[in-house]
Structure 1
Amino acid sequence: MRVVEVTAYGGPEVLRSARRPEPDPADAPGRVRVRLKAAAVNQADLKIRSGRFAAALGALAPPFVLGYDFAGTLVDPAPGLAAGTRVAGFVPWVADGSGVGTYAETILAEPAWLAPVPDEVDFTAAASLPLSAVTAAQALDLLELPAGSTLLVTGASGVVGRFAVQLAARAGHRVIALGDADDVHELRLLGAHGVVGRGSPDEVITGVLGFAPERVDGVFDAALIAEPLLPVVKDGGVFVSASAERVPVAERDVRVDVVEGRPDAARLKELLELLGAGALATRVADVIPLEQAAEAHRRAEAGHRPGRIVLMI
């Protein structure tokens, strides 16, 4: 089967097309084959390829196959899912430790990773959603804010932050979004009560306090700003970071936590159904053939177009 491998740590040029044997379910009892139609390029892919996560990968080293998000067709039946079902999910790439991700024609997946894709959702849109939307939902779970709370979402123009704005608004929160100035109108349509443009920490704090003079009950920091944002959080509030790479030191009884997206088939099924019903919006920046994964990484690093880049397989 066709795959794209990371041949060594480095820039996008280290991504090369290769061929590997089709995976055999007998080699991983309990897993099932999924014939992929689309796979998304995540920021974690870029960090792994560059070597930034090398220490966390232990003995695992190139060549390996990147990729978290996927959408495709189930080859083998799984509990509650017949062969031929259109499914989506994400591989917990680092935790799985196999070095076999979704830049491939076929993968072996745990049934707990899989959710059915509604007929109204195409493979491209389905592949753009799993890790980011589930992470946003799990961040809201960690915040544990009652309905009506004021929540600041940073990185609201990014993929995870954009989902967080929508899900927080659906949960009844008063959302302040920190994002690009060009996205003010769209973020308001997605549910933000107020939008603050990116700027220096002092400018951001002033902007947030303009919408919430009493300060906010919680922050979901998808932009990884960390400590400079603590002044906008109420005493005893909550601060959830999207990565352990940037976590502020707690003060004033502010609870600090980190969300790490974990596969959750039931939650993903709900999110895909919202997408199919038009109650949740995703954004695809580009659709690029699998063989051009290096170009996809270049575009993702350049960041010229917001949204998820999807590889067609």
Structure 2
Amino acid sequence: MKLTPNAKRYLKIALTVALLAALLFSLDVSRFAAAIFQVDPGWMLLGIALCFLFVAARMLKWIFLARANGLQAPPLELVRAMMFALALGIVTPGRVGEVAAIAPFTPADRPRAILAYVFDRIGELATVLLFCAPTAFVFLPGWGLLIGLGLCACSVGIVLAVQVPWLRRQIAARLPQRTPARLREVLGSVIAVPAAYWLISLVTYLITYASVAAFIAGSQPIDSALALLLLPPVTLSNLVTITIGGLGLREGLAALLGPAGGVLPEVAAAAFFLSFFWTRLVPGLLGIGWNLTRSFRLQQRGE
């Protein structure tokens, strides 16, 4: 039975509530609350600053990739669209709402812009997989080396599958006949990816892992670098969009993996919740407010 969009939305809300309830039931609630509201002020401010720096770096990465492909739009408009896209990404299935980031481009450029934006998201996945490889080497004895090498191969393969035109044409040729022409047009677009893009991507994710580490350090000392190796696998849970904004799933995985690196479950879960709050929820709400204010002003001017 195929669910209606409203049914899917209600199911997602129910699952979010259920997972959050299960998480709180399994944790020491007072310790979890302390890890959110009683973090050392210095570490908290550092973590928040790094969260905002991550958002800025992510936007810079997208603008850099767009300009490398001849996609031009006012930088301020791109920032406004990306902030709004953060909010839509939280509430839409599969975070498809993030595609709103291409709104400032002209209709003629949007097929290429969609491909560039999809590549940017896939590029982020490839980056996270690379960061997960050392975790496999360290925490998975026996099979760790093989799995780590597999993650590296997947990272490279994902990039090639999107970046190499011949591979994209092969994918397009095997799509069902009823596939929308728009999708075929997107697959046929040409994309350029400068080497500097990958450097920006690596730095961007180093920043977000540093922000989570700061939130952890504000609640307990980080005695081992092993704790930092567990951060990339937790971010992979963002691929699973069965809850609103990944809430409950991401924090639950952090609580499960945290002790392996010497981090209390409550502290690990709280650190990733704070990361979500400052990197997605707050910028997303600011984006909504910015867009509503802009729309109101345009209406006042009669535009």
TM-score normalised to structure 2 length: 0.27
TM-score normalised to structure 1 length: 0.26
RCO higher in structure (CA 8 A, sep ≥6)? 2
Rg comparison, structure with higher value: 2
The structure with the greater share of residues assigned to strand is 1
The structure with the greater share of residues assigned to helix is 2
